[in-house]
Amino acid sequence: MKAIVAILSACLFLPLAVAQEPLTPEVPLEHFESYFEERPERYLVDPQGLLGADDLAEREEFLSYHAGESRIDFHVLLFDLGQEIPNEIRIEELAERFFGEGKPSLLALYFLGEPERTLIQLSPQIRETVSAAELGRVRDEAVRAARQQAASAEQLEAFCKQMAIRIFWIEREADLGPEKPDAAPVSEPGERTLAEPKDEEPGFVAWLRRCWDEWGLPAAVILGGVLSAWLVRAAVRRRARYVFPEEAVPDRLGGGRGAATGEVIDFSSSTRSPSEQHEGPGDSLGGL
Amino acid sequence: MRRCPSCVQAIHRGAAECPHCGFGLEAADGLFGTEKPEIGLVDDGAGLMRNAERRRVEKLLAGFGARFPQLAVAVHSASRVEGDLRAYAFWLLNRAHFIDLSPERSQRGIILLVLDAARHRATLAWGYLLDEDFDEPDSFEILSRAHAYWVEERYGEGIERVIEQLALVLIRRSRKARRRARRKGGAA
């Protein structure tokens, strides 16, 4: 009888017991210091040990590599599925406190297996350069990339890679520029939603630059030669003196200086062309 | 081909008077007066140019004179020319005393632009130095450059265009004249 009662009570009360467990547990108190106390020393903060050792090492290595190549660090605080950040913790305050000084950074609060809950924030030095809407789009793109993966570790990997790409464009927006020209990650075509850098060269300028790179020196030499020749020619012509041979011409019609007159042009009408408004010479011989 | 300035018929290059109409300098004196007018190379009697335009024209004339050491361009505007404009230009070319013409320049190297303000007409007359090398089509080409300006009463600008175009035409004619002179020298 006791067994039956035990089984019944188990059947009746077990769901209740499960339901009584918090579905969205808060971050354990013992990890508060690691998460929220000071500027993180590592790029991936996982005090709860949510990632396996290999995954953790790989993600940390990737973020370190990114930090070495970018002018903006990327820090990730990793939380578990369904975990809630304490109400008193705000990501804006964290970014301000952690990264108010030193190298600019982007902080992400990432929930393993729930990329759509991710929160991101820029450090104060560069916050003004990217609008909240753009930052939201950056986050959405990275979340979308993450959700294309099934496993939570792979989702985190995709998220980090996509964010690294977006951070490159944020660098351009903030006019920080890459430290090394070849350090810029290449984004996947058609995926960029962050505003393109405004100082990107238009096609014609890029073409000119390419031509200069390829043909600059010979073209400059040729152009210089042509210009020099033109200048010399202009100088010669400017200094040139034009003379007419003095020939013996008998006086005509009694004029001692000259007797030739030209066409008479009429400029009374603006609707008739000059050729219609000149008085050509007559010819009493009828053109013979 | 030489033509009479009055009746515009063809005449001999040494004709003392026009065989068609009897025109000559004495006949012109009868039409325009026997007094010799004293005028400057820029004589804007009709007041067509503002001072700034006049200065620009004078500057252009100085440049022209530097390039063509034998020649001088004179600009004359009259409020109204009574009678034939060609005949008037012929008379003025031969009778006027150009007070600022430098002595080293030949009187036979003057090119005179005459504008009749009332009748909106203009013409060119030139001295014997250009008798072989400058002709009526050249004068039309030159005056045509100014036509668009003059119909809008932008006289100064039109005169500037005339001087510029005249220089271009004369550069061509000068080369042609040198070749002709060389040929004559070779033949001699």
Q: Which residues contact A201 (CB under 8 A, 6 or more apart)?
A: A209
pLDDT of A282: 44
Write the residue in B20, B90, B120 that is nearest to A284 by C-beta: B20
**What residue in A sits closest to B167 (Cα-Cα)?**
A242
Average pLDDT score over residue span B83-103: 94
State pLDDT tens for residues B128-174.
999 999 999 999 999 999 999 999 999 999 999 999 999 999 999 99
Which residues from chain A sit within 8 angstroms of residue B98, using beta carbons? none
pLDDT of A196: 47
Q: List the Cα angle B84/B85/B90 in 5-degree steps.
A: 100
The two tokens of residue A123 are 């450090």
State pLDDT tens for residues B41-73.
999 999 999 999 999 999 999 999 999 999 999
Cα distance between residue A74 and residue A103, in whole Å = 10
Beta bridge partners of A240: none
Q: Please state the pTM of the whole predicted model.
A: 0.53
**What residue in B sits closest to A264 (Cα-Cα)?**
B123
Average pLDDT score over residue span B72-90: 95
pLDDT of A74: 93
Q: How many CB pairs under 8 A join A and B?
A: 181
Contact between chains at A255 and B93 (C-beta distance less than 8 A): yes
Return contacts of A147-153, CB within 8 angstroms, 24+ apart: A147/A115, A147/A116, A152/A81, A152/A112, A152/A113, A153/A51, A153/A52, A153/A55, A153/A112
Spans of chain A, pLDDT less than 70: 1-24, 177-202, 273-288
Average pLDDT score over residue span B91-120: 93
Half-sphere exposure of A252 (CA within 13 A, CB side): 27
Mutation to test the A interface, candidates B8, B76, B116, B154, most A Cβ within 10 Å: B8
